[in-house]
Amino acid sequence: MYSVLGLGFSMLWKNRLITCGQAGFYAVGAYTSALLVMKLGLSFWIALPVAGLASALFALLIFSAALKAGPLVFFGMSLVSGFIVLEVLGAVKFFGGWEGLMDIPSPSFGPFVFCSKTSYYYLALFLLVVNIVVYAALYKSRIGRAWTAIGSSVRLAEAQGINVYRYRLAASLIACFFAGVIGSFYAHFQNMLVPNTFSFLLSIYVQMFALIGGLSYFIAGPIVGAVVMVFLPESLRIAAELQPILFAVLIILLVIFLPGGILSLPERFPRLVDIFK
């Protein structure tokens, strides 16, 4: 689940765009889906893609102007959008207010209802795989090459005829679409939504997934990072209040000693690989 958010950040980073608002788009997807199912009685399987589209639409609204002004304004707007979403969700009664939405129905497939942890696990895995397949196809195509070009040198990319604005916008819409889809999954998995889940801290965590895994590994990086970040605190069994501090220390150590992320280990220490061979 977190991997999907991390992948979105990674895609934008490929365009040298830094987003601080993945949590906001995640929330848009989650609430859209929950409300569609609860108020309109739609099936989860329809609400899932619609949640993605709603999130992408919200991204279009926010970023179509911001990207015209450049990557710095994009960064700022992504930050602001996260806070706006949070405040709106908390303040408006229709969205359940700060207490949140309760009793969101679990998805069912024919007679089969997703209720066990395992079935949710497979559903999440399926969504992640779809996400990976789509991103891998994009990265392999000329679209991915254009993104790499933009990330490498905006001026040269423009001189070669790449519409930088359009490609960056496309990347942010796709990233937000998947954030919305996974938000929808989260809503029905938890059966309840509270605005504070989608706080700014989550957006920061998303960045850390990509950073820990390795920023230059656009697909494997965020996945490895998310796995490490989720399992590490559990295995250490430390208090939730201490987690941010642990992560902060971890990030500082990582940036100093391993700026390429976990996946750059074999490259950085070739001898380590030899030992395992």
Partner 1 sequence: MLEIKGLTKYFGGLAAVNDLNMDVFKSEILGLIGPNGAGKTTLFDLISGFFPSTGGEVTFNGEIISGLRPHEIARKGIGRTFQQSVLFMGSTVFDNVFTGFHIRYRTGVLQQFFHTYAVRNEEKALRQNTMEILELMGLAQMKDELAENLPHGHQRILSICIALASNPELLLLDEPVTGMNPEETQNAIELVRQLREKGMTIVIVEHDMKAVMSLCDRIVVLNHGQKIAQGPPEEIRENKQVIEAYLGAKEENAFRD
Binding site for partner 1 (CB under 8 A): 137-138, 140-143, 145-146, 148-149, 152-153, 155-164
In whole angstroms, how close is the CB of 162 to partner 1 at the nearest point?
A: 5
The structure tokens listed for 95 are 């969205």
> What is the β-pairing status of strands 108-109 and 112-113?
antiparallel
Dihedral (Cα; 97, 185, 65, 82), 10-degree rounding = 40
Smaller CB separation from partner 1, 161 or 270: 161
Distance CA 33, CA 127 (A): 15
Query: What distance, in Å, lies between the first and last C-alpha atoms of the chain?
Result: 33
The whole-angstrom separation of Cα 223 and Cα 210 is 8
Q: Which is nearer to partner 1, 90 or 151 (CB)?
A: 151
Long-range contacts of 229-236 (CB under 8 A, 24+ apart): 229/2, 229/205, 230/2
Q: How far apart are CA 86 and CA 51, in angstroms?
A: 17
Residue 270: C-alpha distances to residues 206, 230, 261, 267, 276 (Å) = 29, 28, 15, 6, 10
Closer to partner 1 by CB, 129 or 236: give it.
129
The DSSP secondary structure of 151-210, one letter per residue, reads: HH-HHHHHHTT--HHHHHHHHHHHHHHHHHHHHHHHHHHHS-B-GGGG-HHHHHHHHHHH
Nearest approach, Cβ of 270 to partner 1 (angstroms)? 18
Angstrom distance (rounded) from CA 195 to CA 225: 25
Helix (H) or strand (E) holding 148: helix 142-152
Q: Which is nearer to partner 1, 146 or 226 (CB)?
A: 146
- Shortest distance in whole angstroms from residue 221 CB to partner 1: 15
Residue 263 CB, shortest distance to partner 1, in Å, is: 16
96 phi/psi in degrees, rounded to 5: 95, -5
Smallest distance from partner 1 to CB 154, Å: 10
Nearer to partner 1 by C-beta: 1 or 146?
Answer: 146
Nearer to partner 1, 96 or 261 (CB): 261
The least distance separating partner 1 from the CB of residue 144, rounded to whole angstroms, comes to 9
Q: How far is the CB of 185 from partner 1 (least distance, A)?
A: 23
216 or 243: CB nearest partner 1 = 216
